[in-house]
């Protein structure tokens, strides 16, 4: 059993940071960023909280789906950049969208969050047939967690939100989710001050600079993440495709996590699939974490690239290190 994506929505802040803008405060240049990442500009939240972006994207998704929000049975919000420790972004969005009969929780699988959440949504729809619709909202404000003195990471990310309303369907569907926690040390942001003895002996073999790394700031080993990502994208597809015996030739569109164009090109090569089957939006959005796959999918639908009946492969990776793939018929 699969899902039907009834409607999608998005919200992207108006404020945009171009590559040239970064030259005002770090040593970098447009050419380096373009050639190493494929990114040209990225939206940056100004006054907008993460939940607000999620609300706007969700309202649009509900409107496009043409449903009554009171019929939504579950709201899942994916974010690694929540405004609050509690309440969840999902509860705020549930209230703000009028989804008065829905349960609500957040799911943090970092940039793989949308893939994880869509798969969780499908499982709810399958096991509780009283749930008619699930709203999945992916909302991120990475800019608030960036170290704008670290030129290797701050140029990569953007802010935004995208949402989908989904329902039960008997369309083609397969998924595979994974995590390699040994790589947690390659991409992390500390949230709380802990006792010195714990900071000196951090979890999961974290790097030796863990103790000194500031709270709420992203720390990244770009080379290690890059290596992981180029394996994780093809693996995510192959694991999901293998379960239902389909191949890359059956796929109309690959919608990968938008982190770096070179990662996507390497993944395409490894899969033996042409780049023109890959949807990319990172030139104008950068890496919007869990919002990147639904933003790319929504934009491809709007442009008329992705059409009903086509087979899609959503493939992601992110901090965790997590990875995952979904194959579905749109």
Q: Could you list the active site residues?
A: 111, 257, 287
**Cis link prior to 136 (omega < 30° from 0)?**
no
For Cα atoms 198, 201, 207, give the angle at the middle one, nearest 5 degrees: 120
How many angstroms from the chain centroid is the CA of residue 314?
10
Nearest to 135 by CA among 80, 174, 89, 171: 89
Does 222 contact ligand COA by CB under 6 A?
A: yes
Q: How far is the CB of 318 from ligand COA (least distance, A)?
A: 4
> Mask of contacts with ligand COA, 155-194, x by CB under 6 A?
xx------------------------------x-------
Q: Are 296 and 280 in contact (CB under 8 A)?
A: yes
Does 87 contact ligand COA by CB under 6 A?
A: no
Which residue's CB is nearer to ligand COA, number 25 or number 84? 25
> Mask of contacts with ligand COA, 245-284, x by CB under 6 A?
--------------xx------------------------
Which residue's CB is nearer to ligand COA, number 129 or number 223? 223
Q: How far is the CB of 309 from ligand COA (least distance, A)?
A: 31
User: Cβ contacts of residue 11 below 8 Å, gap of 6+?
Assistant: 48, 52, 53, 54, 55, 56, 57, 60, 160, 161, 162
Strand, helix or coil at 40? coil
Does 79 contact ligand COA by CB under 6 A?
A: no
Q: What is the rounded distance in angstroms from the CA atom of residue 141 to the CA atom of residue 144? A: 6
Does 225 contact ligand COA by CB under 6 A?
A: yes
- Region of 75-83, 126-134, 224-232, 234-242 interacting with ligand COA (CB under 6 A): 224-232
Query: Which of positions 115-154 make contact with ligand COA (CB under 6 A)?
Result: 151-152
DSSP structure class, residue 171: S
Q: Across-strand partners of 62? A: none
Residues lying near ligand COA in the complex (CB under 6 A) are found at 28, 32-33, 36-37, 111, 151-152, 155-156, 187, 220, 222-223, 225-226, 229, 259-260, 287, 318
């Amino acid at each position: 059993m699969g899902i039907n994506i009834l409607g999608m929505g998005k919200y992207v802040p108006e404020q945009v940071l171009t590559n040239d803008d970064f030259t005002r405060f770090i040593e970098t240049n447009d050419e380096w960023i373009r050639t190493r990442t494929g990114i040209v500009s990225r939206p940056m939240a100004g006054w907008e909280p993460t939940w607000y972006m999620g609300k706007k994207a969700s309202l649009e998704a509900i409107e496009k789906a043409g449903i009554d929000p009171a019929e939504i049975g579950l709201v899942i919000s994916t974010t690694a950049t929540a405004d609050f420790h509690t309440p969840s972004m999902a509860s705020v969005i549930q209230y703000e969208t009028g989804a008065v009969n829905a349960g609500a929780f957040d799911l943090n699988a970092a940039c793989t969050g949308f893939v994880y959440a869509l798969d969780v949504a499908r499982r709810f729809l399958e096991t509780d047939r009283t749930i008619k619709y699930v709203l999945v909202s992916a909302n991120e404000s990475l800019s608030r967690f960036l170290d704008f003195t670290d030129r290797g990471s701050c140029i990569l990310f953007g802010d935004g939100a995208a949402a989908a309303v989904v329902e039960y369907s008997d369309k083609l569907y397969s998924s595979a989710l994974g995590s390699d926690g040994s790589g947690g040390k390659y991409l992390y942001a500390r949230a709380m001050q802990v006792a010195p003895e714990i900071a000196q002996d951090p979890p999961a073999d974290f790097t030796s600079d863990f103790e000194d790394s500031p709270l709420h700031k992203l720390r990244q080993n770009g080379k290690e993440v890059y290596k992981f990502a180029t394996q994780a994208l093809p693996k995510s597809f192959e694991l999901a495709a293998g379960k239902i015996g389909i191949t890359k030739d059956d796929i109309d569109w690959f919608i990968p996590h938008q982190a770096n164009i070179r990662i996507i090109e390497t993944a395409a090569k490894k899969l033996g699939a042409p780049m023109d089957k890959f949807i990319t939006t990172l030139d104008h959005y950068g890496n919007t974490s869990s919002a990147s796959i639904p933003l790319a999918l929504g934009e491809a639908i709007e442009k008329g690239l992705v059409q009903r009946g086509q087979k899609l492969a959503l493939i992601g990776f992110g901090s965790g290190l997590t990875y995952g793939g979904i194959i579905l018929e749109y």
